Amino acid sequence: MFAFLLCIPAILVTSGSFAGSNYYGVTVIYFVLGALFVSYGYYFIAKREALSMKAAEKSLLVLEAWGLVYVLLSFLKVNQLLQADLAYESSYIPRQAVYYFVLPAAILFREDFYLKRAERFLEKYGEILFWILFAGHMMFFKSNTLLVIPQLLLCWLSLKLDTKQGWRRWIRIAALLLVPVPDYGELSIIIIRVIFLVISVIPKRFSRITMRVMAVCMFVVICACFILPQILEEKSIADTNSRWRLRIWKEEEKILRDTHFLGAGYGTSYPSKTYASGATDRTEWQYMAQDGYTEYERMFVTAPHNSFMALTMRTGFIGLFLFLLYLGLLFRNLVRHKVLPPKSACFALFAGVVLILFNVGLENPGYLMTFVFCIGVCAREGKKLEDMDKNLSISGEMA
């Protein structure tokens, strides 16, 4: 778990590429996985904390169980019986399903042993760290822009800091909102900035209702991503990348129907073989040979830039329901207490959803670790609120 946390600043500076880097022939994400398995053993076996988990954590473990059943069936090639016109290579199963081994790290955020020192460090040096990381990212890319991951993590860090002087807070806000938007990831960055601005300026007395309205809006957007591909025409979309997203999302939904809404499992290509064969004619660079991959290999590594869609295509509507249930329970645990939820935690949840809604979120190591960090800080703040509620109840009883 400590390895996971230490990677986050490097992921911020490199916009996620650090997690996919190789050292001594091993990718960083696999180093992190090894360290996480040690923490899982300590937390779930030695401490037996699984017996005292709350609804959100239990729903995540149900999602884990559901997904790992699909992984096992995929190794047994049961998913090939569905005849969904998909290519199949069992060697891609671990890569496509790696998030099942990282998502439980969010539960570990509830443990003081892992986070207390990090929180004390942020209390003392958080603002210095903010500006170091802000400048470090720009120096790394030799650019004056913020990419998606650093935009998200720096916005969270700004909200996390308890700045006494208001002018320092507003300087951070201005820096995060006024830097130029890069040429890619624009939609995600703009939405993240809007969420950050709203959460930053909303008065405390309106924060609870505002968070609930934003949660409903986020759910509507997720649903819209499944509906719009069926009702919009490609030619009505001006942006090339948006047209591709609409096209591939429609393809994923076709695969889902062909599998009787059960999902295609893992080790299969993201598009069908028929769809991929026409990619060259459509000048669809996403499935052309590049970055060291052949056209055939691109079918297995190029996800649809929407992890809700990708998860549904692989595990069916039950998998989507379990994932949404977990996120909903995380949010509920932030807003149901007497004490107002921290703005930083609410931002992390909303921005984390945006991160995986319009990008290869769960399928890319850097995005995956960033998303798990987001839901992890939500889980931690939810636990703090639970403890505060208990203390308030005890104080009330003693009075």
- Angle among Cα 272, 302, 87 to the nearest 5 degrees reads 30
| CB of 79 closer than 8 Å to CB of 265 | yes
What's the gap between Cα 82 and its chain centre?
29
The DSSP H or E segment spanning 354 is helix 343-357
Q: Going by C-beta distance under 8 Å and a sequence separation of 6 or more, which residues neighbour residue 2?
A: 35, 114
- 294-340 per-position pLDDT tens digit: 889 999 999 999 999 999 999 999 999 999 999 999 999 999 888 88
pLDDT (average), residues 47-64:
83
Considering its fold, how many domains does the chain have in total?
A: 1
Residue 396 in this model has a pLDDT that exceeds 60: no
Give 399's contacts (C-beta < 8 A, 6+ positions apart): none
Residue 196's domain comprises: 2-398
Residue 22, strand partner residues: 27
Q: Has residue 234 got a pLDDT over 80?
A: no
104-137 confidence digits (pLDDT tens): 999 999 888 889 899 999 999 999 999 999 999 9
pLDDT of residue 363: 93
pLDDT band at 4 (very low <50, low <70, confident <90, very high): very high
Tokens 């025409």 appear where? 233
What pLDDT, in 10s, does the model give residues 348-362? Answer: 999 999 999 999 899
Report pLDDT digits (tens) over 63-100: 999 999 999 999 999 988 887 889 999 999 999 999 99
> Which amino acid is present at 305?
H
Kindly report, residue by residue over 156-176, the tens digit of the pLDDT: 999 999 777 788 999 999 999
Chain-wide mean pLDDT for the chain?
A: 91
Residue 113 has a pLDDT of: 85
